[in-house]
Structures are given as C-alpha cells and as structure tokens.
Amino acid sequence: MSLDLFAQIAAIGVVPVIAIDRVQDALPLADALLEGGLGIAEITFRTAAAADVLDILHRERPELIVGAGTVLDLASLNSAKAAGASFCLSPGFDAPIVDAAIAMGMPFAPGIMTPSELSGVVCSGLRFAKFFPAGIAGGPKALEGVAAPFAHLGVSFIPTGGVSPDTMGDWLTLPSVAAVGGTWIARSADIREGRFADITKLARAAVERVKAIREARK
C-alpha cells in the first residue's frame, strides 16, 4: 500500500464523493474542482460511466488525484486499476477484494463500522479505512470509541456518509481522521445541469474550511 498516497489525501483533508452519469461531464467537473483548489476526486462505481470517467481524468487531468469509490467486486477493482485510479474505497470490508487490491499494489480503504471489521482491516496489513456510514454509525464519538483500541497501530480514517460542511470540524479534530468524504461538493444534479461554477465555489469553501479547522487546532 502507498502510504505516500494516503498522506497526500490527508494533506488535502476532504474528498468529494462523486456519482457522474455522463462521460462528457468528466473534464468540466475536473476543471471545476481544480479551479476551486481541490485536487482530488472519488468517482464512484454507482454509474455505468465510472470507468470511462476515471480513464479520461487519469489521461487528461493528471494533476488531479483520482480514486474509485463503491468498489464492491473484483470486476470493479480491475476496471479501476485499468482506468488508472490512484486509490480505491469500498463501503464495507470484503477480504477477497482487499487481498486482490494488495496483490496489485492498489492503495485501498475498505469501509468499517465496528471493531470486528476494523480488526479485519488491520490483520490484512492496511492502515487506512473508510468509516461508513459515518452519520448513522454514531458520529465522531462512535469512531473515537471504535478506533481507540487500534490507535497504537496508526490507523487513519475517512469518515463518509452524513458528513457536511457544518460537521467537518467535529470529524477533523479527531487525531485518527485523515480526511472526510462528502457528496455535497459535486452533486450529481449539479453535474448533469452544468452548474460547474457552483461546484467550484463549494470546492473552494471546503478547502478553506479544512484550512480553518486545522489552523484552529494549532
């Protein structure tokens, strides 16, 4: 696993989680994020366009760190790898998929909600996980409790699902949280309707919010 890649994600602090329906929207989306100072995107395998979008962004916008989300099976993992994804995430922990990702050298963050699932992640040799669905799983206090017995192992998390600009600070003040994931930055409807200027504004606001939260912690 590439710890350097996850260090880059941690430095950014927020990952836009994106379901994109049309390939032709890939480059306008990327440019909107980059204009807002947000150099990362998680393209979820919730749409048929995902693999093609990943491929286009990998080739045409190499300055953007592009990962694949909702990687639920080996076919999606292989498609993400072939398309040039820099990292993959899944909503749950599936040992065969994790093993395959490790074998191919793909930085992977499986989803966890319980200590048992996190134990599986750690035993696989990973030190990065997605806490999902973060909101209904109990919020920051729940993650704090789940993560505590594993803190000495250096495990870091990306809480996703129910995170908002208003709650970012609650998550990012936890030492174990490297970054948060959220759908509010680049909503599917905004992409479909060409509201890329709005996406730029939301991206810029998210970057500024991360900076303010981290400055306050110093």
42 an active-site residue? yes
Are 189 and 22 a contacting pair, CB within 8 Å?
A: no
Separation between Cα atoms, residue 179 and residue 181, nearest integer Å:
7
How far is Cα of residue 185 from the mean position of the Cα atoms in its chain? 12
| Catalytic-role residue among 130, 144, 201, 208 | 130
Q: Among 202, 208, 211, 213, which residue's Cα sits nearest to residue 17?
A: 202
The answer to whether the beta carbons of residues 179 and 213 sit under 8 Å apart is: no
Please indicate whether residue 130 is annotated as part of the active site.
yes
Cα angle at 52 between 50 and 53, to 5 degrees? 65
First to last CA, the chain: 30
Active-site option among 35, 42, 144, 215? 42
Q: Active-site positions?
A: 42, 130
